């Protein structure tokens, strides 16, 4: 039986954002890394920082923040971004 993955950010206060137009730069005070994020990735990080959530829930949050539809394109974009985030230790999977 497929179990939904839940994503969470440990200590959300560690991220600091600066934005210029469409661009967003996020500084991670835990790792000391700086990340350049496109608008979708930026909204995703903001959304997951808000509260732990499944990928589907995150798609809803990001879609409503961007004012777009929660289609399969957005789903696969977020899925791949979450994989990147996990490798960068920005987010982690937790048991449901």
Partner 1 sequence: MKVADLGAAELGARLKGSGLYLRTGPFVSRIRSSISSVSEGIGLLYADYPLAEQNDFADFHVGLSRPPTIRRWFHPQAVFDFDGHVPFKPLPLDQAYPLFEWGLNWCVSSHAHQYLMIHAAVIERDGHAAILPAPPGSGKSTLCAALVNRGWRLLSDELALIRRNDGYAVPLPRPVSLKNESIGVIRGFEPSAVINREVRDTIKGTVAHMKPPTDSVSRANETAKPAWVIFPRYRKGAAASLQTRSKGGALMAVADNAFNYSLLGLAGFHMLADMIHACDCHDFSYGDLDQAVEAFSALQPPAP
Partner 2 sequence: MTPAPELVSRVLRDPPSAATLGLAEWDLLVRQARHAQLLARICVVLADRGLLQRVPEQPRTHLEAARVVSDKQDRAVRWEVNRIRHALERLGMPIILLKGAAYVMAGLPPARGRLFSDVDILVPKEQLAGVEAALMLHGWAATQHDAYDQRYYRTWMHELPPMQHIKRQTVIDVHHSILPETARLHPDPAKLRQAAVPLEGHDGLKVLAPADMVLHSATHLFHDGELEHGLRDLADLDGLLRHFGRSESFWRQIVPRARELDLSRPLFYALRYAAATLGTPVPGDTMQAAAAGRPPGALLALMDALFARALAPDHPSCRGRFTGPARRLLYVRAHWLRMPPLLLARHLMHKALVPAKDE
Residue 12 DSSP class: G
The count of chain residues that interact with partner 1, using the rule CB under 8 A, is 12
Q: Supply 43's token pair.
A: 């909204």
- Cα 12 from Cα 16, distance rounded (Å): 9
Which of 41/53 has CB closer to partner 1?
41
Judge contact between 7 and 92, C-beta under 8 A. yes
Piece in contact with partner 1 (CB under 8 A), picked from 1-9, 16-24, 43-51, 55-63: 16-24
Residue 20's binding partner among partner 2, partner 1, none (Cβ under 5 to 8 angstroms by kind) is partner 1
Residue 24's binding partner among partner 2, partner 1, none (Cβ under 5 to 8 angstroms by kind) is partner 1
- Give bridge partners of residue 28 from the DSSP assignment: 15
What would you measure as the largest C-alpha separation in the chain, in angstroms? Answer: 44
Judge contact between 9 and 94, C-beta under 8 A. no
Of 4, 51, 89, 94, the residue at the interface with partner 2 (CB under 8 A) is 89
Of 4, 23, 31, 56, the residue at the interface with partner 2 (CB under 8 A) is 31
C-alpha 21: how far from chain center: 19
Interacting residues with partner 1 (CB under 8 A): 16, 18, 20-21, 23-25, 27, 29, 32, 34, 36
């Amino acid at each position: 039986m497929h179990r939904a993955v839940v994503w969470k950010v440990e200590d959300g206060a560690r991220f600091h954002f600066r934005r210029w137009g469409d661009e967003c730069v996020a500084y991670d005070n835990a790792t000391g890394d700086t990340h350049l994020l496109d608008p979708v990735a930026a909204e995703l990080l903001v959304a997951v920082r808000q509260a732990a959530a499944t990928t589907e829930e995150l798609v809803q949050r990001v879609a409503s923040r961007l004012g777009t539809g929660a289609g399969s394109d957005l789903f696969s974009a977020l899925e791949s971004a979450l994989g990147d985030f996990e490798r960068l230790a920005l987010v982690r999977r937790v048991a449901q």
